[in-house]
A and B are shown apart, each in its own frame.
Chain A
Amino acid sequence: AQSVAQPEDQVNVAEGNPLTVKCTYSVSGNPYLFWYVQYPNRGLQFLLKYITGDNLVKGSYGFEAEFNKSQTSFHLKKPSALVSDSALYFCAVRDTPGGYNKLIFGAGTRLAVHP
């Protein structure tokens, strides 16, 4: 069965420093991977996805993610963090390759960016 793991409940980073939010996955077949962000009292917003192609995927708000097949990872990164990036981040994998669009979400990682 497809699954994702976000090993960190919370990540703390100083404003201006690079940030990384980790995600590892387990899939059969080729992975379809996603990152979403949730700001307080809001719904989840799509950031970026990996389907195929370049291992470095660029998304919204200056975020990018690196797909690493050998390490089965899809870590979210940003070169310079902003206080406004503070939010809850979810990694997700599509459940059935070639099938329905059901996503399996990780538990989420809370990112806190300090001034």
Chain B
Amino acid sequence: DAGVIQSPRHEVTEMGQEVTLRCKPISGHDYLFWYRQTMMRGLELLIYFNNNVPIDDSGMPEDRFSAKMPNASFSTLKIQPSEPRDSAVYFCASSFLRGETQYFGPGTRLLVL
């Protein structure tokens, strides 16, 4: 298995632009998680899905952030408009129902200028 796949690996954009991050979970996994990691705030859970349905989006910082999971093999995290404070590494992770262990992707390093 290829593991969790994220794209792009690096993204540099200007303030105000729309940013879309993509994730392909491990095949057969029922849960998908989006995290953000910064030096100041550490690892934060933004949102997670179970069977493509958003379960908890309380970690999404504001309305500029949105996430979708149109099918079991694809999810997006969108920031519109982006701001410099959104600069971070964004991770996607997936897990089995009742499997507990989350498997992380390599992350997308986002820099908003």
Contacts and interface: CB of A to CB of B under 8 A. Distances in A.
Interface of B: 4, 31, 33, 42-43, 45, 48, 50, 55-56, 91, 93, 95, 97-107, 109
Given A42-B106, A43-B107, A102-B48, A94 B91 contact: no
Contact of A90 (B43, B45, B55, B93): B43
Contacts, number: 53
A36 B50 CA distance: 22
A101 B31 contact: yes
Contacts of B48: 100, 102
Given A43-B107, A105-B43, A100 B100 contact: no
A27 interface: no
Contacts of A44: 43, 91, 93, 102, 104
Contact of A94 (B100, B104, B106): B100
Contact of B103 (A46, A49, A105, A107): A46
A46 B102 contact: yes
Given A32-B100, A43-B107, A103-B45, 19 more contacts: A43-B104, A44-B43, A44-B91, A44-B93, A44-B102, A49-B101, A51-B100, A100-B31, A100-B48, A100-B55, A101-B31, A101-B98, A101-B99, A102-B45, A102-B48, A102-B55, A102-B56, A105-B42, A107-B42
Interface of A: 32, 34, 36, 41-46, 49, 51, 90, 94, 100-103, 105, 107-108
A43 B102 contact: no
B50 A43 contact: no
Nearest to B97: A101
B31 A43 contact: no
A100 B91 CA distance: 19
A99 to B, nearest CB: 10
Contacts of A46: 101-103
Contact of A103 (B50, B97, B102): B102
A93 B55 CA distance: 18
Nearest 3 CB-CB pairings of A with B: A43-B104, A44-B104, A43-B106
